[in-house]
């Protein structure tokens, strides 16, 4: 899917693993590590759930860098909302691509 994503001034490696666990060995869909600049996604997720989880982790990165308080319900509902708007409005992606013409992006 995506192997790097730039959030603010930080480029995160996006990694996929079969079993992703939290600090208490609970199963996780995704994880962002600020110290290592990595976002890890669980490969057991289907494509749409993995993309929603990626948006969720991106929002954690944006909120953390901007110093905003993060609550899981706001982060999760916003991630679902962004994914829905992008899926329902293809012209937005075209407009973003047009806006970025000539700009270098993360590869
Ligand atoms: Zn979260």
Q: In what order do the strands lie in the sheet with 38-42?
A: 4-7, 10-17, 38-42, 30-33
**Ligand 1 center to residue 94 CA distance, Å?**
29
**Ligand 1 center to residue 97 CA distance, Å?**
28
**Structure token digits, residue 87:** 């899926």
DSSP strand pairing (10-17 vs 38-42):
parallel
**Ligand 1 center to residue 101 CA distance, Å?**
32
**Ligand 1 center to residue 103 CA distance, Å?**
30
Those residues whose beta carbon sits under 5 angstroms from the ion ligand 1 are: 72
Q: Which residues contact 94 (CB under 8 A, 6 or more apart)?
A: none
**Ligand 1 center to residue 70 CA distance, Å?**
8
* Dist. CA 8–CA 32, nearest whole Å: 15
- Concatenated DSSP letters for 2-41? -SEEEETTEEEEEEEESS-B-TTS-B-SEEEETTTTEEEE
> Could you give all domains of the chain from N- to C-terminal order, each with its CATH number?
4-99 (1.10.10)
**Ligand 1 center to residue 75 CA distance, Å?**
6
- What is the per-residue pLDDT for 10? 95
Per-residue pLDDT of the chain (107 residues; tens, 9 = 90+): 799 999 999 999 999 999 999 989 999 999 999 999 999 999 999 999 999 999 999 999 999 999 998 999 999 999 999 999 999 999 999 999 999 898 877 77
**Ligand 1 center to residue 30 CA distance, Å?**
8
């Amino acid at each position: 899917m995506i192997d790097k994503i730039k959030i603010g001034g930080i480029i995160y490696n996006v990694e996929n693993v079969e079993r992703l666990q939290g600090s208490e060995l609970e199963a996780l869909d995704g994880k962002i590590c600020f110290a290592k600049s990595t976002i890890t996604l669980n490969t057991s997720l289907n494509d749409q759930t993995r993309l929603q989880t990626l948006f969720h982790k991106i929002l954690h990165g944006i909120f953390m860098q901007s110093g905003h308080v993060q609550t899981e319900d706001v982060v999760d509902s916003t991630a679902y909302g962004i994914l829905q708007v992008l899926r329902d409005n293809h012209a937005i992606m075209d407009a973003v691509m047009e806006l970025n013409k000539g700009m270098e992006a993360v590869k």
